[in-house]
Each structure stands twice: as C-alpha cells, then as structure tokens.
Amino acid sequence: MKQRTLIGLMLGCTVLGTSISKVAAQTAAPKSDTYTNSQCQRNQNLPQRDRFTVFYQEEFVAQNQRHWLYASRALDGSAIFCLSRPNFEQPRLLRFREIQNQFTDNVRRDRRQNTSFVITIRNGNGMNVPINAYRLDLANPAEAKILSLSVLQRNAVLKDGDPRLSSDGSLYHTHTFTGQANQSISLNLQSRSFDHYVAVFDPNGQKIAESYGRRSDDFRRNRISDLVINLPTAGRYQVVVNGSDRTSEGEYSLNINRN
C-alpha cells in the first residue's frame, strides 16, 4: 500500500482515532417483536401497514423514577421516539422534529450521562445524504431537551479540474472545521463512486487520523470510512479527501459530529 504525501501540509502520523463499524440502532431490543401505534401505545394486533416495530428500548432513572426510552420503526424505515413508565405505561411521543419520522442510524446511551442518549439520523434513505447526531437530555423527562452535535456536513463531487497530488496525480479536496482540545468527534465518509483515502490534520499540520475506504462486499458497493478521533488541541482542523488513483472521481458525503 503506497504512502500518501499530501503536499506540504502534513507531517507526522500519530493516530488518535479508532476505526469503528457502523451499525444500526442496536441496544436492548425486546426478544420478540413488539408493536406500537403512531402515538407510542403498545398494540400487538395492529395491521402491518399501521404498526411500528420496537427496535430500541432502554430503561433509565430520572428524578428517582424509572422510565423507558424506546424507538419504533414503520414499514418505510422511518422511526418514532417515545417515553413511558416501565411496561409501556403512560406512553407519549417526544416532540422533536429533528428525530421524529426520520431514518435512524444509531441510538446509544451517552457514556457521560445516564439520562442522555445520542441519536444519529440519516436525512434520507440512501447514500450521500447528510448524517446528523443529536444528544437527547432526559434528566427531566417532562422537559426533555435536544442538542445538535453536527460539526461539518459536505456533499461534494471529486472531478477533473480539482487539485491533484503531485506524487500520483490523484484528485483531492480539503475541508476545514473548528475543534476544541480533548473533544471527541466521529467522522463518516461514504462514496459509491470511488475508493478513497481520508486524513485529518491538526492546527499544526500534524496527521492525527487516516482511513482507506475501499469497495465492500455489500450489494450497494459502498466505500465507507468511520473514525472516532480525540482532538489534541483547539483550532482549525483540515480533512483531506483523496481518490485512490488518478482515475478516482465522483460523489461522496462527509459528516463530522461531536460525540
């Protein structure tokens, strides 16, 4: 595998990020299918067209009471998020349009706060769509709050006329974002068009993470890079998206979110 020399920006190779595999919302679903209606009420007798299937369910304690957060998916793949007391008692729909009736990529409990959850939303049912992460704060379930964790979103096309590396003639783009010291971010890069290399450089031009995205075995032939990176210092960071060779070009999506 050839080493990349990305024009004079970039020296050093301390990798702080760790590659992770993207998974669908994954925590603690019931052992058998549980159905709800569009208002979060459990009902095992709904016709298929009207039912939502619970795919995520988590119990938490807030204000000395037990609660459930659960998410149910409709036939078209969109999801609703609900709160209840245990055993689906007193269910209610969360009133946040950012996460309701969207395509949910991932749900997990925030490792820093047991009453917070990180929800990743794909804004469309396909490749090259924006991916947003949100932190849902349920410390006070009656006054739930939501915060966007988005840092950078780009849908772009690598094409003839863009800058090329002098080393091999491959095309590249540079994107920038502002980070804070000790901040943890997740970077996701996807393309159906070309194999890629992505690298992240700190404000001093030091490379802190990199990934190669190559053709996978799934039917969509996605090329995906997933990185989790701990930023070493505050300042402007650079993300370089590079084709694998001089013929690599096409559409891609780049999404960076705070963890």
What's the token pair of residue 29?
């679903």
28 is a domain residue? no
Tens of pLDDT along 57-112?
Answer: 999 999 999 999 999 999 999 999 999 999 999 999 999 999 999 999 899 999 88
128, HSE (Cβ side, Cα atoms, 13 Å): 12
- Sheet (strand 89-93) strand order: 35-36, 52-62, 65-73, 79-85, 89-93
Residue 201 and residue 187 in contact, taking contact as beta carbons nearer than 8 Å: no
Question: Mean pLDDT over residues 152-173, rounded?
Answer: 93
1 is a domain residue? no
The answer to whether residues 179 and 142 belong to one domain is no
Question: Mean pLDDT over residues 2-8, rounded?
Answer: 47
Predicted confidence band of residue 192 (pLDDT cuts 50, 70, 90)? confident
What's the token pair of residue 99?
């996460």
The answer to whether residues 107 and 121 belong to one domain is yes
User: What's the number of domains the chain is made of?
Assistant: 2
Whole-prediction pTM value?
0.72
Residue 248 belongs to domain spanning: 11-22+151-258
